[in-house]
Amino acid sequence: MSHFPEFEVIPAVDVQDGEVVQLVQGERGTGKRYGDPVEAAERWIDAGARTLHLVDLDGAFEGERANAAAIEAVVEAVERLEAGSGGTGAIDLQLGGGIRTAAGGMDLLELGLDRVILGTAAVEKPEIVAEISETYPGSVMVSLDAKDGEVVVSGWTESTGLDPAEAAARYEELGAGAVLFTNVDVEGQLSGIDREAVEAVVEAVDIPVVASGGVASVEDVVALKEAGAAATVVGTALYEGEFTLAEAQSAADAVDAGDAGEK
């Protein structure tokens, strides 16, 4: 299963109480609401998205999937759009938030998701990564959230003392198909990215690294491609209209990737 053959700008569809929200530094209650998840998903696909990044925020904090109905509605809508495109418009869907067991992850893959994102569960029970990967190779994306240079879990409230690059390498050995690296220090603030932190994780693994957190401008998107990221997840900046999906994708496409991301 080929992940991100070309650099992608991936819109985030973060769902809380059945609505799209964007949090600031992962703090609950800081969210600004942006309406219906299915409408958001359809809008981003119309705008050219090849992948959608779905997050069940209630699940991320509570440890169980609270927005299952909203997520399933998005999956069904995307399947309808794909069917209507005559097979040309394959859209990848990845979901994180509240997936705590291998069975839970596999249920979602059977539902029609392309990748499941494991964060807290992967840190606490790394064997879940291996278990899902055996049945669905390459379908696990491990989410590493870093604060002050250390991996944090449980909705960014507990530090683990793990180095993000070392953790990424460990999950690659367990069968992870990709790494989602989020710098919590800059999450949701439109304050720009930490390129060096991304480069360190990219250099540690051969699997794709998707970068997230702090993307405020098209220049940030370009810098992440140059840092070797395979893709970037963008939320707040797109919802606030700082730039369009097409602008960001075309700027990234215009960069001669050269050695970016090549090993």
For the annotated catalytic residues, the residue numbers are: 14, 145
Q: How far is the CA of 73 from the CAs of 11, 67, 79, 116, 203, in angstroms?
A: 17, 10, 10, 17, 37
Three-state secondary structure call for residue 31:
strand
State how far the Cα of 54 lies from the Cα of 111, in Å rounded to an integer.
Answer: 14
In the three-class reduction of DSSP (H, G, I as helix; E, B as strand; rest coil), residue 142 is classed as strand
Helix (H, G, I), strand (E, B) or coil at 228: coil
Task: Report how far residue 165's alpha carbon sits from residue 2's, in angstroms, rounded to the nearest whole number.
Answer: 22
Find the helix or strand (DSSP H, E) in which 43 lies: helix 37-46
Alpha-carbon span 49 to 111, nearest angstrom: 21
- Note whether 127 and 142 are within 8 A (CB): no
Nearest alpha-carbon partner for 127 in 100, 94, 95, 154 = 100
